[in-house]
Amino acid sequence: MDEIWGDIKYRLWATAATNDGAVKGTYAIELGALRYGDGGKGGAFSGDGVNVETRMAYTDFAVPNSDGRVFIGLQPFAVNSYVWKETAMGVQYKGKADAFDYRLAWMRGREFFNSDDDDDLLEDIDSFLVRGDFPPAQDVESGVFGLYQRSDSRESGENSDLGGNYFGSNYLVKQFGASEFDIYTLGIDGSFNTPTDFGDFFVNWDLMYQGGEIKNATIDDQDISAFFLHADVGVNIDRLKLTYTGWYASGDDEPDEGDRDNFTATDVDTFDSIIFFEGGYTDDNYFTEAPYILDRGMIFNRLGADYKATEKTTIGGALIYAMTAEDLPNGEDKLGLEIDAYISHKLYSNLEVALNAGYLFADDAMGYFSETEEKEDVFRTTARVRYGF
């Protein structure tokens, strides 16, 4: 099946602040993924439609006699780029003690308003974060964090609603409906950068463990035990950047049993593949935004090269081999070999035009997503004109 479309995305935000910066207020709006000819959102004849979203709306202020700031409202929130990095509603405190930066946060992703005296006062999907960042050695940055998420909104006798909108982007906490769960995620991440005789060498890493429990009525309660490992290893040689990216997201091959072994992100954006993730420039159109497929996890390997041909032009490409950590329901785990390429050019200092393309040589596991149950190769190309100021 072939299709072609165009869309636009605009983001505009404003910040008002006192002269000393002690108090700030930020408001941002977005007109996102409005397709040419889409009458439902105002992209067709006459252009009328409801299509403006609130992206951010928060106030932050310095705490007197300290190095900390408090952030209240709909704001950028980052735990780790593979478990939760998006806007969310809540309260954060960001502080500093010498070289140690720390954050405390409470975020509410979904509210279930009480309608019965027997309802739990805190039945909503609430999340609590403690995170610290520090440089343990020269050229090294590191962070440790603990994220606890819970909900008690499931009615007595009902199974937890862990469904999603469609098969590609399922299995995210943000898509959980009425449910009863306790999930904790413990993690470390960091980076290392140092010059060498052949270029600037760098490493990035992430390691996470998830535990907890999801309660159900008609099936056994599920004990959570899941892992996520990621690393980037690369080098910058003059105009050339070479990078290997690999990760393992644990999967679950028996979802109806008492254990839940698949790693579950909350709300993230993953860009390392044009075919599977948000690597296309129309990044609101994707197969999955999570770094895994369904509840079967992922084993992902990518070799990438980026070359700055001129001050205005950059070209690049990648070879990707992907498979699920556990077999899909069709008994297969190999997704295939993907080849990506792109070119980006600055027409002006703040105006970019870019084109990219990806081709997947599909393997047997892709048959699960085909109406014919046969594997089919996938080609995708996207282009953009982006102006930033």
Q: What is the pLDDT of residues 176-200, one digit of tens each?
A: 888 889 999 999 999 999 988 888 9
The answer to whether residue 235 scores a pLDDT higher than 90 is yes
CA distance 155 to 180: 9
Instruction: Identify the CA nearest to 357 among candidates 266, 291, 275, 248.
Output: 275
Taking residues 58-73, what's their average pLDDT? 96
- Band of residue 120 on the pLDDT scale cut at 50, 70, 90: low
Q: pLDDT > 70: what percent of the chain?
A: 94
Do residues 80 and 206 make contact, with C-beta atoms less than 8 angstroms apart?
A: yes
SS3 per-residue string spanning 291-308: CCCCCCCEEEEEEEEEEE
Q: What is the fold, at CATH topology level, of the domain defined by 63-235+258-267?
A: Porin (2.40.160)
Q: What is the pLDDT of residue 164?
A: 47
The answer to whether residue 367 scores a pLDDT higher than 70 is yes
Average pLDDT, the chain: 91
The answer to whether residue 165 scores a pLDDT higher than 60 is no
- Band of residue 298 on the pLDDT scale cut at 50, 70, 90: very high
The answer to whether residue 27 scores a pLDDT higher than 50 is yes
The answer to whether residue 347 scores a pLDDT higher than 60 is yes
* Residue 308, amino acid: K
Q: What is the pLDDT of residue 270?
A: 96
The answer to whether residue 264 scores a pLDDT higher than 90 is yes
- Band of residue 169 on the pLDDT scale cut at 50, 70, 90: very low
Give how far Cα 115 sits from Cα of 6, 9, 119, 121, 124, Å.
44, 39, 7, 10, 13
Q: Residue 184: in which H helix or E strand, if any?
A: strand 180-196
pLDDT tens, residue by residue, 121-159: 678 899 999 999 999 999 999 999 999 999 988 776 677
Q: Spell out the domain ranges in the chain.
A: 1-59, 63-235+258-267, 269-389
According to DSSP, the β-strands at 259-260 and 222-237 are: parallel
- Band of residue 92 on the pLDDT scale cut at 50, 70, 90: very high
Taking residues 8-14, what's their average pLDDT? 92
Burial class (CB in 10 A: 0-12, 13-18, 19+), 153: buried
The answer to whether residue 167 scores a pLDDT higher than 50 is no
CA distance 250 to 238: 37
* Residue 194, amino acid: T
Taking residues 314-339, what's their average pLDDT? 97
The answer to whether residue 117 scores a pLDDT higher than 90 is no
Q: What is the pLDDT of residue 285?
A: 83
Do residues 167 and 174 make contact, with C-beta atoms less than 8 angstroms apart?
A: no
Q: pLDDT > 90: what percent of the chain?
A: 71
